[in-house]
């Protein structure tokens, strides 16, 4: 009788471990915020590398051919290089796109974030 009871308990334990392992492996991947909440942590705002940058990273030489073809991702109009060579500027709406180590960051959200209304110039049809 003891032998049968040990055998049943052993099989039950193996089945329970198998079910738990299957449930773990078949679960849906969670978003980082959901993982933090599940772990009991308070979700923190995560910043992407595009959101923040050091002033030292700005600038760098951009290929002149690239500068000729780059346009604002919003209005598809031409951009101008700032005098200090650290920004691409849209003179129609004041959006500024940073140049990080020679690479323009051409995301509409970034241009809007660094918008400078003082850079807006009235344009005419002949320009």
For residues 33 and 28, the model is more confident at 28
Which domain, by its residues, includes 34?
2-38
| CATH code of 97's domain | 2.20.25.10
Statement to judge: residues 67 and 100 lie in one domain? yes
Q: Do 23 and 62 share a domain, yes or no?
A: no
pTM of the model: 0.57
Please indicate, yes or no, if residue 43 is contained in any of the structural domains: no
Does 124 map to a domain?
no
Helix (H, G, I), strand (E, B) or coil at 104: strand
66 belongs to a structural domain: yes
> Structural domain tally of the chain?
2
Say if 48 falls within a structural domain: no
Read off the pLDDT of residues 77-111 as tens digits, 9 standing for 90 and up.
999 999 999 999 999 999 999 999 899 999 999 99
Residue 47 in domain: no
Read off the pLDDT of residues 51-75 as tens digits, 9 standing for 90 and up. Answer: 566 677 788 888 889 999 999 999 9
Write down the mean pLDDT value for the chain.
Answer: 80
Q: What burial letters (b/e) apply to 108-123, b meaning 16+ CB within 10 Å?
A: eebbeeeeeeebeeee
C-alpha to C-alpha distance for 41 and 10, rounded to whole angstroms: 37
Q: Is the pLDDT of residue 23 over 90?
A: no
**Whether 60 and 107 share a structural domain:** yes
With respect to residue 114, please indicate whether it lies within any of the assigned structural domains: yes
Reduced to 3 states, what is the DSSP secondary structure of residue 96? strand
Indicate whether 8 and 64 sit together in one domain.
no
């Amino acid at each position: 009788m003891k032998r049968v009871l040990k055998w049943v308990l052993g099989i039950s334990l193996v089945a329970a471990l198998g079910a738990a392992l299957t449930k773990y492996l078949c679960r849906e991947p969670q978003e980082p915020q959901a993982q933090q909440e599940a772990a009991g942590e308070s979700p923190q705002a995560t910043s992407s590398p595009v959101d923040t940058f050091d002033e030292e990273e700005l600038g760098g030489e951009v290929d002149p051919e690239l500068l000729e073809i780059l346009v604002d991702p919003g209005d598809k109009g031409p951009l101008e290089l700032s005098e200090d060579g650290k920004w691409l500027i849209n003179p129609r709406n004041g959006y500024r796109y940073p140049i990080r180590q020679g690479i323009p960051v051409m995301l509409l959200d970034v241009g809007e974030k660094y918008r400078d209304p003082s850079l807006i110039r009235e344009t005419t049809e002949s320009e």
